[in-house]
Structure formats: C-alpha cells, structure tokens
Amino acid sequence: MKPQTIPLIGILICTVSICASEKDWLDPRLSVLPSDKLGPFAHTSDGEVIAIDSDATFISGDGGTTWSDPRPLKGALEKGIKVSRERALLRTKGGSLIAAFMNLNERKWTWSNKLFDAPGARLPTWVMRSEDDGATWTHVQKLHQNWSGAVRDMIQTGSGRIIFTAMKFLNNPGRHSVLTYCSDDDGRTWTASNLLDLGGKGHHGGVTEATIAELEDGRLWLLIRTNWGEFWSAYSHDGGRFWRVIQPSGIPASSAPGILQRLTSGRLVLLWNRPYPHGRKSWPLSGGDGLWSETPVSNHREELSIAWSTDEGQTWSKPQIIVHKRDFEGKGSQKWASYPYLFEHRPGELWLTTMQGDIRAKFHERDFVGRKIIAFGDSTTARRGPLNVYAKRLAKAESRDWVLNAGIGGHNTKNARDRFERDVLSKNPDTAIIQFGINDAAVDVWKNPPATKPRVSIGQYEQNLRFFVQRLKARETDVVLMTPNPIRWTPKLKRLYGMAPYQPDDGDGFNVVLRDYAGVVRKVAREADVSLVDVYRLFDQSSDVDALLLDGMHPNDEGHRIIAEQILRVLNKGRKRSN
C-alpha cells in the first residue's frame, strides 16, 4: 500500500458516549481494557497514567484498572473551560503536561443550508500546560476563535518542538481547513503554521482532522482526512512552521480521521477506517449536495483497520481489521468504530480507545509484526552494493521481521561501543546480532613504524563484548554473537600484512591473531548464555574457504548465504522456544 494523503472533512463535535456491546468483534489479539476512560492518555512523572476529561483529570497506577477521584482542572475551570472529547495530551521531555482542545462552553454553530455556510460559527482552540502532573494548569490560552472541528494529535520532535494539529472553519462557501501550532518553550507560547485550505463546500467539506508524525529525515508528515476517498499528505521541512508539499497519500480512507504514531520500536502504525467493508467494493455515499460536502464520499466507519510501516510510510503492511461493528443497521455512532486514540503504555503495549463506538482495548505490537532485528558489526555486516549480505537475506527470508543493518566498515568494538546507544539501544530491538573481530585483531604492520599490537587488545575486546551483552540482556533483548570469519591471503593483503606476527608462507597464517579473538566470542557466548553463530568454524570446516570470500577478507554471496542460513536456524529455534 503506497502512502497517500487525503484531506479530511471537518465534522461537528460528537458529545454522545456509546457503550460497546456484545455485537462488537475484536481481533483475538486484542483484550478489553479494564477502563471506560476515553483518553488520550499520558504518563505522569512517576510512570502512572493520566487521562483528561471535560473538567477533570484522573490518575491510574495499576494499568487502568482503577482510577483516582476526579481532579478538577484547576486554573482552567476558572476561565470557563469545558474540554472537548476530541483533544490531545502530551507529556514533554521537560516533564510538563500539555493539553490542547476545543472549549465546548464557547460553542456556537450557525450552519445555514440556504447560505451553504456558518457565518459567525465559533468553537475556539485552547491549550494549557501543567508542571505538577495535572494538579494545576497554567498558560491557559485561546489560540483562535474560529470553529475548530477537531484537535486530534500532538507530538514532540527530536529538537524538542511541540506540535499539535487543529482546524479552522472558513467562509464563502463554508468549509474546513487544517493548521498546526508549535511551541519551542515547553508550551508557554505558540505559533500557528500556514493554513491548509484545499477548497470544498459543506459543513463536512474541505480538509480536516489531521494526524502527525516526525520522519527519520526530520520532515513532519500530516495525514489529513478528506472527502476524496483517501488521506492526503502534507510535509513540512521546517518543523511544522510551513506545510509546502501537499499531495494525495495513496492510502484509501473513508471520510473519517486516522491516527498515525511513531512507536518506541521505531515503526509507524496507522489506525483508520477504510472506504468499504472487507470484501465489498462499494458503500452508500454521503454528501455531494454542498451541504454535507461538495463531493459524494464513503462514510464507512464500521470497521477499524491497522497497518505498519518500517520504511517511514513509503510502504505499509497489508491492512488488518481489528474492530468490527456487526450491527451495520445500528443508529448513529452506535454502529461505528471510529476516531481512535492510541497510547503506548509500555514499549510495545498499545491501548486503543475510540470516541465513536466506545472501544476500549489493548494489544501488543509483537502479536501483529515480526521481530525487530539489528545486525551490529563491521564491514562484514555492512551493506556492500548489490551483494546480498546476511542482513538483507534475513529480511527476505523472514518477511514479518524488520532487519536493520548497523554495520560500518572499519569499525572495531571500541568504535562500536561509542555508537552502541545510538545505533542499537535507541532502536529497541527484539534481537541483536553482533559480529566484530577482524578490525579488533588487526596488527597494522604496514604502518611506519609497524604496529606490534592489535588495534584493540584481546582483553578489551572481551570487555566490550560483555558490555554489549549485559546491556542488551538487561533490556530482555535476545543476543546472537557471531565469531569473525577466517581470512585468507591475497597479493594485496600480503603486501600490507606479510610480516610478523603474521605468517605469509602459511595459507592460514593471516589468522594467527584472529583465531584467538574467535575463541573469546565463544567464551563470552557460553558464559553469558547467549546464542552463538560460529562463522569462523563454519568457514574453516568448508572444503574451500577462499570460495566463500570476496577479497580474502569479506564474505561473498555464497559466504553470506551460509551465514544467513545458520542465523535463521538460531532465530527460529529461539522463536519456537518463546512460543
């Protein structure tokens, strides 16, 4: 599924809470949340969960099973605030809570079918912050007066900027538009972006209800609800100040909002309503009269789908229905499963709640997608042009798994330790494959004067491997250690290394140091009780080591095939054990 962006239509505020019934079907991988709270949720300073409602917040310390008594929105209620059901809540890196919403106490809807407009309509967007986990609220401020159909999403970027999505109703003719607000001072002051007005006509016309994510390259991505059969995308290259690239996203969607979220694992997840029920190619259309909308559109919301992306939204997994409202003949939002909120309670544990349909469920990322595997190593791991390195082979063989290649040519365990947090731990892998040694064991006799010791001593090499293993095991990450592959003489390598301690007259003389480093890997794997792929022994026991090497040092295509096959045996053995 290609990523697309389609403008969403602004809609009126829903104030009716519908209880889920036995007619709801949940994917068996979902379980019911023990809470009726709608969300959105955030974490408090001590790791508990906070939920916000129209006039209070609630705290849970037991995963949503029980909640505190209502804690009035002190500092906001005094300003006449009643928080809308469409809202956003975020705990910032600085420890503050930010809430953005519409103030229902100022609501004034003036739509006229005769005018195709709502002159003077009012539902202002407000924002506020708390430095004490919601006990009191400060910087309570109105950002605009216009009717705002929804505040759907809020994120904090890598730079620390806070951004949330909002809407403005425009006139002549009446239609909705989308914008964002950003703050660089932890929510004290806010700046509006440019307005995304793509035309339209009707009280659900125009573009509406955007969700937002930051991409790895620093761009921000909006997915916007539209009446055009798909989401539309907008991209910002300056942290949400201006949205300049606006285009269809290629993601078919009903006229209903989705939620796009970056998970701790690094994956993007999308929950939304597709245009038609599963197995159908049509659905009754709404609008087309300029009252509801200018363009007829599917308003199908009876099924909620989920999809995952590991390449920044360029491609998506096949959509899966996770909630299905069986009573298609029900009335109003009783028959819908729409307007989702998503909260990552713990890494990989996701809470799903919906404003329409009153779904309250939780599920685990691992039950829908494969493992996240990081291959951490030197040039024998790193990408090498068109060569099918073992990481690439693993990705092809295990299509559900997400394999990241963190190999860098020339690196040893000392270099690797410097980048371990950034390239491995920050990615939160399920499995880490580690292979270093050739560069650690290298004695650079080609230098002037010639080196007499390895680049990394064998004692330091062992310490570094143990450091990697200990840190990963503490996070319950599966570890696969790999010995370095043996190396063979070539004319070029003999010119560089053909002197003591190496033995250029011995076909195996380039391994006089390296074989001891391979022994250390075996020792660490055994004592730390982690999996081992003994590449050194695999190659050494073959009939022709040279036939497995590209240049005397790096595995060729056949060498990587053998390595990948052995890794797969280890991974599949671990998977069966965990199951």
Cα end-to-end distance, the chain, whole Å:
30
Q: How far is CA 418 from CA 190, 414, 461, 524, in A?
A: 37, 7, 14, 20
What's the pLDDT score for residue 371? 86
Q: Is residue 5 part of a domain?
A: no
Vertex 336: Cα angle to 331 and 338 (nearest 5): 145
Same domain, 460 and 564: yes
Assess whether 414 and 467 both reside in one domain.
Answer: yes
* Chosen domain end from 340, 367, 394: 367
Beta strands 49-52 and 41-43: pairing type? antiparallel
Instruction: Say whether pLDDT at 8 is over 80.
Output: no
Same domain, 342 and 379: no
362 and 379 inside one domain: no
What pLDDT is stored for residue 278 in this prediction? 87
What is the arithmetic mean of pLDDT over 554-565? Answer: 96
Task: Please identify, among 367, 384, 410, the residue that sits at the C-terminal boundary of a domain.
Answer: 367
3-state class (DSSP) for residue 481: strand
> Looking at 367, 388, 417, which one is the last position of a domain?
367
| Domain membership flag for residue 510 | yes
Domains in the chain: how many in total? 2
Spell out where 35-96 has E strands.
41-43, 49-52, 56-60, 71-72, 83-91
Q: Is 132 helix (H, G, I), strand (E, B) or coil?
A: coil
Q: What is the pLDDT of residue 576?
A: 46
Confidence of residue 309 (pLDDT cuts 50, 70, 90): very high
What pLDDT, on the 0 to 100 scale, is given for residue 316?
93
- Structure letter (DSSP) for residue 333: G
pLDDT of residue 370: 83
Mean of the pLDDT values across residues 313-328? 87
Q: Is residue 8 in some structural domain?
A: no
Question: What ranges make up the beta strands (E) of 121-207?
Answer: 122-130, 138-146, 154-156, 162-170, 175-183, 191-192
263 in any annotated domain:
yes
Decide if 10 is inside a domain. no
Task: Name, in order, each residue with C-beta under 8 angstroms of 448's C-beta and a sequence gap of 6 or more.
Answer: none
Q: What is the pLDDT of residue 328?
A: 52
CATH classification at residue 556 = 3.40.50.1110
- Tell me whether residue 557 is in a domain: yes
Per-residue model confidence as pLDDT tens digits over 93-123: 999 999 999 999 999 999 999 999 999 999 9
Same domain for 358 and 304, yes or no, is yes
pLDDT tens per residue, range 62-94: 999 999 999 999 999 999 999 999 999 999 999
Nearest of 216, 211, 201 to residue 232 by alpha carbon: 211
**40 within a domain of the structure (yes/no):** yes
Residues 315 and 464 placed together within one structural domain of the fold? no
pLDDT winner (highest mean) among 68-72, 362-366, 397-401 = 68-72
Report yes or no on 178 lying in a domain.
Answer: yes
Residue 446 sits in the same domain as residue 320: no
The domain of 416 spans: 372-578
Return the pLDDT at 28.
94
pLDDT of residue 24: 81
Strand partners, 433: 375, 480
Residue 575: pLDDT band by 50, 70, 90 thresholds? low
pLDDT tier at 287, thresholds 50, 70, 90: very high
- Token pair in block for residue 282: 């049509």
Examine the pLDDT at 227 and tell me if it is beyond 80: yes
**Biggest alpha carbon–alpha carbon distance for the chain:** 96
Q: Are residues 212 and 158 in the same domain?
A: yes
Q: Above pLDDT 70, what percent of the chain?
A: 93
Distant-in-sequence, close-in-space partners of 393: CB < 8 Å, separation ≥ 6: 560, 561, 564
Classify each residue of 201-238 as buried b or exposed e, where b means 16 or more C-beta atoms within 10 Å of its C-beta.
Answer: bbbbbbbbbbbbbbeeeebbbbbbbbbbbbbbbbebee
Q: Taking all residues of the chain, what is their mean pLDDT, rounded to a whole number? A: 92
Please say if the pLDDT value at position 11 is more than 60. no
Instruction: Return the pLDDT at 333.
Output: 56
Residue 1 has pLDDT above 70, yes or no: no
Regarding whether 574 and 430 lie in a shared domain, the answer is yes
Q: In this structure, are 110 and 182 located in the same domain?
A: yes
Residue 155: strand pairing partners: 163
What's the pLDDT band for 3 if we cut at 50, 70, 90? very low
The yes-or-no verdict on residue 341 having pLDDT over 70 is: yes
- The answer on 291 and 332 residing in a single domain is yes
β-sheet bridge partners, residue 406 = 376
Q: Are residues 342 and 388 in the same domain?
A: no
In this structure, of 292-296, 366-370, 473-477, the range with the lowest mean pLDDT score is 366-370
Domain of residue 349, CATH code? 2.120.10.10
